[in-house]
């Protein structure tokens, strides 16, 4: 069993651990048991036909007297690249539009209200190569590039909010590049964009070679279905670097902030024509490692959905009642009891260049 082979943690548990024990394992690992979402047969058939993993779960909440349930269905799409990385740029983009467009159609069959794609979804995650050409040619205008126009069509056709993370070319500022999630409303308007703030400088990612730290702050997009209650985290990360961190970080954010988080990772291994080194003393090679998919949704109550496949394209549909956010907030009260004023004050001091830490010595 190699890192690239195994389908998912969930599958291994299901195969080997007896039901009574598995129930306890699932409770500890995933939180409260989620109801499976009843997906239409047409969607199930389409997923088999088109060879992708399709899963659906429901995050329920308690009935309230003064508010109706505020039910939202989100769709998380993870996918391999379609063409080899040395195919012509436009063909690669069109092929990804086609593949993901078909998966969005299945999401529509499943009643999805908001769909989010993986980070830099229109291209291979080529930053490992440190080459400029042809990768910067994948960059597009967030407002009216080819991909945004494609997403506007999808949004209108399916009455669906689309979160589309692309490599952005910012012509207004001298053609600079950003790692940007474009938010298209269900009416097909570009609602705005959020540029990645914290650019990792780790391993073969080399993202900071291509684009800078985002300057859009932390905007909240209020669509027809939600306020600031769902955080989408489109990602691209590989097994040997980060897999044990994957189940931790997005889920911690959901718990700490009383909200839903959707973590989406690309899937598959991407080969590049020119070999590159990794600054680790090892030989040059042609791939970045295995993107392990495993996209999932985490809820404010500490529960989470099982992950999508580690090896296959997938669509995860999660129905959630956003009322759960306030219900959990009213239970745990982090927003009231957390020492945010103290944290703000201490963090403000700590970022000063002449900060003196509070160290107690004997």
Strand ranges, E, within 154-195: 161-170, 176-184, 190-195
Q: Does 31 bind a copy of itself (CB under 8 A)?
A: yes
Which residues, other chains included, contact 348 with Cβ-Cβ below 8 Å and sequence gap of 6+? none
Is residue 9 a contact residue for a copy of itself (CB under 8 A)?
A: yes
Note whether 42 binds a copy of itself by CB under 8 A: no
Decide: is 65 part of the binding site for a copy of itself (CB under 8 A): no
Which CB, 4 or 98, lies closer to a copy of itself?
Answer: 4
Token match 């689309």: residue? Answer: 162
Phi-psi region of 302 (alpha: psi -120 to 50; beta: other; left: phi over 0): left
Q: Segment 277-316, which members bind a copy of itself (CB under 8 A)?
A: 302-304
Q: What angle do the packed helices 89-109 and 146-158 form, to 10 degrees?
A: 20
Q: Does 6 bind a copy of itself (CB under 8 A)?
A: yes
With CB under 8 A as the contact rule, which of the stretches 49-57, 125-133, 264-272, 330-338 interacts with a copy of itself? 330-338
Q: Are 239 and 3 in contact (CB under 8 A)?
A: yes
Binding status of residue 333 toward a copy of itself by CB under 8 A: yes
Choices 98-106, 115-123, 125-133, 200-208; region in contact with a copy of itself by CB under 8 A: 200-208
- Please name which of 236, 72, 105 lies closest in space to residue 167, comparing C-alpha atoms: 236
Segment near a copy of itself (CB under 8 A), from 30-38, 41-49, 142-150, 264-272? 30-38
Q: Does 199 bind a copy of itself (CB under 8 A)?
A: yes
- Regarding 187 and contact with a copy of itself (CB under 8 A), the answer is yes
The residue written with tokens 């129905």 in the block is 319
Q: Sketch the per residue contact string, 133 through 152, with a copy of itself: x for CB under 8 A, - otherwise.
A: --------------------
Please give the helix or strand (H or E) that residue 276 lies within, else none. Answer: strand 267-276
Residue 351: CB minimum distance to a copy of itself, A: 5
Q: Does 329 interact with a copy of itself (rule: CB under 8 A)?
A: no
**Choices 24-32, 68-76, 118-126, 171-179 (CB under 8 A): range interacting with a copy of itself:** 24-32
User: Which residues in 227-266 contact a copy of itself (CB under 8 A)?
Assistant: 227-228, 242-249, 251-252, 255-256
Cis peptide preceding 330, ω within 30 of 0: no
**Candidate segments 54-62, 76-84, 95-103, 195-203, binder of a copy of itself by CB under 8 A:** 195-203
Residue 200 to residue 19: CA distance in whole angstroms: 41
Region binding a copy of itself by CB under 8 A among candidate stretches 45-53, 87-95, 119-127, 185-193: 185-193
The yes or no reply on residue 198 touching a copy of itself (CB under 8 A) is yes
Residue 12 touching a copy of itself (CB under 8 A): yes
Which residue, 284 or 360, has its beta carbon nearer to a copy of itself?
360
Q: For 264, phi and psi rounded to 5 degrees? A: -120, 125
Whether 163 and 234 have beta carbons less than 8 Å apart is answered as yes
Q: How far is the CB of 258 from a copy of itself (least distance, A)?
A: 12
Q: Based on the shown chain and the rule CB under 8 A, indicate whether residue 4 belongs to the binding site for a copy of itself.
A: no
CA dihedral (194, 200, 205, 209) in degrees, to 10, reads 80
- Of 16 and 133, the one with the shorter C-beta distance to a copy of itself is 16
- Select 35 or 331, whichever has its Cβ closest to a copy of itself: 331
169 vs 251 by CB, closer to a copy of itself: 251
Alpha-carbon distance of 13 to 8, in angstroms, equals: 9
Of the candidates 202, 316, 293, the residue with the CA atom closest to the CA atom of residue 247: 293
Residue 88 as a binder of a copy of itself (CB under 8 A): the answer is: no
Kindly give the pairing relationship between strand 71-78 and strand 114-116.
parallel
Judged by CB, which is closer to a copy of itself: 65, or 358? 358
Among residues 298, 231, 236, 228, the alpha carbon closest in space to that of 267 is found at 236
Contact 311, 51 (CB under 8 A): no
């Amino acid at each position: 069993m190699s890192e690239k082979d195994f389908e998912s943690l969930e599958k291994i548990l299901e195969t080997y651990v007896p039901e009574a024990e598995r129930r306890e394992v699932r409770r500890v690992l995933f939180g409260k048991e989620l109801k499976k979402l009843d997906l239409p047969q047409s969607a199930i058939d389409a997923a088999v036909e088109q060879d992708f993993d399709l899963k659906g779960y429901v995050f329920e909440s308690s009935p309230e007297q003064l508010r109706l349930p505020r039910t939202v269905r989100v769709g998380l799409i993870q996918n391999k690249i379609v063409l080899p990385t040395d195919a012509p740029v436009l063909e690669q983009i069109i092929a990804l539009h086609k593949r993901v467009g078909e998966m969005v159609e299945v999401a529509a069959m499943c009643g999805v209200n908001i769909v989010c794609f993986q980070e830099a979804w229109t291209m291979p995650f080529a930053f490992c190569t440190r080459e400029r050409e042809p990768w910067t040619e994948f960059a597009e205008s967030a407002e009216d590039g080819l991909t945004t126009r494609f997403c506007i069509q999808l949004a209108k056709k399916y009455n669906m909010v689309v979160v589309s993370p692309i490599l952005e070319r910012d012509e207004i500022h001298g053609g600079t590049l950003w790692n940007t999630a474009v938010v298209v409303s269900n009416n097909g308007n570009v609602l705005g964009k959020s540029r990645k703030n914290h650019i990792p400088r780790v391993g073969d990612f080399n993202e900071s070679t291509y684009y800078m730290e985002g300057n859009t702050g932390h905007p909240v997009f209020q669509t027809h279905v939600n306020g600031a209650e769902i955080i989408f985290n489109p990602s691209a990360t590989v097994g040997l670097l980060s897999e044990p961190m994957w189940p931790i970080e997005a889920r911690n954010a959901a718990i700490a902030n009383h909200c839903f988080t959707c973590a989406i990772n690309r899937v598959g291994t991407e080969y590049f024509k020119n070999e590159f080194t990794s600054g680790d003393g090892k030989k040059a090679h042609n791939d970045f490692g295995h993107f392990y998919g495993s996209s999932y949704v985490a809820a404010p109550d500490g529960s989470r959905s099982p992950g999508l496949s580690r090896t296959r394209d997938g669509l995860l549909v999660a129905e959630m009642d956003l009322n759960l956010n306030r219900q959990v907030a009213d239970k745990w009260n982090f927003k009231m009891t957390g020492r945010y004023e103290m944290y703000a004050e201490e963090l403000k001091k700590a970022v000063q260049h002449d900060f003196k830490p509070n160290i107690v010595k004997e």
